[in-house]
Amino acid sequence: MSTARTDSPGRVDLAMSPLSGGKTEICSVYVGTCGYSYTEWVDSGFYPPGTRSNEMVGLYGRCFSVVELNYTWYQMARADILERMVAGSPSHLLFCAKLTRTMTHERDDNWRHQLVQYRDGIAPLVKAGRLAAVLVQFPPGFERTIANRTYLAALLDGLHGLPVAVEFRHVSWLADSVFSELGRRRVTLVAVDVPALAELFPSLDVVTNPQLFYVRFHGRNQEGWRSGNMQKKFAYDYCREELASWSAQYLVPMARRSGRGLVFFNNHVRARAPHNGMLLQRILQQHGHFTAAGKELPPGEGLYG
């Protein structure tokens, strides 16, 4: 059984009966996208014609209740910017703040100082109760070496007290000892859907933090993934069968063992991410329509498309 929340568009409450019997638990699953400020989403019909960048977050919030912030990956988080974002966005919208790339992809020697800056920068999200998670995403080249394991441990120490999710791209992190350590720290392992390439971290239903599971759909464009071109890499459109199958195999088992779930689509090209996000919502509800902010969405359509 599932219920859509009109006060929280994009949230589906799944009633999960434990496999061993007992009390039915509710897992609230929030579906959203990796970023929201894309001019191509105007051209693709997700946002209405003429939408300005400063209007996008409000329109996005009519369909979803959570979003990943790309801004905090490209630039160091700043409290004044995030204070304005909190004030200018719908009150139900939660944020996942990506850790800045200079602590994951382009590591600097002064990363400890940067971590203090980052925590200060996202403080408005914490204070407002709008921080859903901190996403620590590592590149494919971040392999499971002794040096990288040591760095990850120190980084997680510096993020202690925040809801943290870690995404690995390299298959070398596929190890029970990694999952055990994340579980000990109550850090969420990010589940991914990616192209079927041997070197990439695979799809799993491992839950390391019973309070939160986290999913990122990157698309399955093998040729685009190897191209190095970001537009080609994330150019993919999930069909209903792919999302239904993935949900049954991975998402539902994770929901059965978690109190909350965050699911994001990273296939932003041609606004496939929001369309696929709304399709997943309909699948989770097990019927053909999704109610968002009191508006019924016909199957396969966006709020403005």
pLDDT in tens, 226-275: 887 888 899 999 999 999 999 999 999 999 999 999 999 999 999 999 99
Compute CA distances 225 → 34, 144, 202, 268, whole Å.
Answer: 17, 21, 15, 14
Helices 111-121 and 79-87, packing angle to 10 deg = 30
* CATH of region 2-297: 3.20.20.410
CB 154 within 8 A of CB 148: no
pLDDT at 286: 72
3-state secondary structure 82-146: HHHHHHCCCCCCEEEEECCHHHCCCCCCCHHHHHHHHHHHCHHHHHCCCEEEEEEECCCCCCCCH
pLDDT at 38: 96
Mean pLDDT of the chain: 90
CB 76 within 8 A of CB 121: yes
pLDDT at 40: 95
Distance of CA 203 to the CA centre of its chain: 15
Q: Give me the average pLDDT of each 10-residue run along the chain (305 residues).
A: 67 79 84 97 96 96 97 97 96 97 92 97 98 97 97 98 98 98 98 95 97 97 85 93 96 95 97 97 67 36 33
Residue type (1 letter), 143: E
Torsion of CA 203, 205, 209, 213, to 10 degrees: 70
Tokens of 275: 């369309």
Ranges of beta strands (E only) in 131-212 are 131-137, 164-167, 188-193
pLDDT at 20: 60
Rounded Cα gap, residues 247 and 106, in angstroms: 34
Ramachandran angles phi, psi of 145, nearest 5°: -100, 170
Which of the 8 DSSP states describes residue 270?
A: G
pLDDT at 236: 96
Which candidate, 81, 34, 87, places its Cα nearest to that of 58?
A: 87
Going from N- to C-terminal start, the domains of the chain cover 2-297
pLDDT at 21: 62
Can you say whether the dihedral through the CA atoms of 231, 33, 244, 45 is positive or negative? Answer: negative
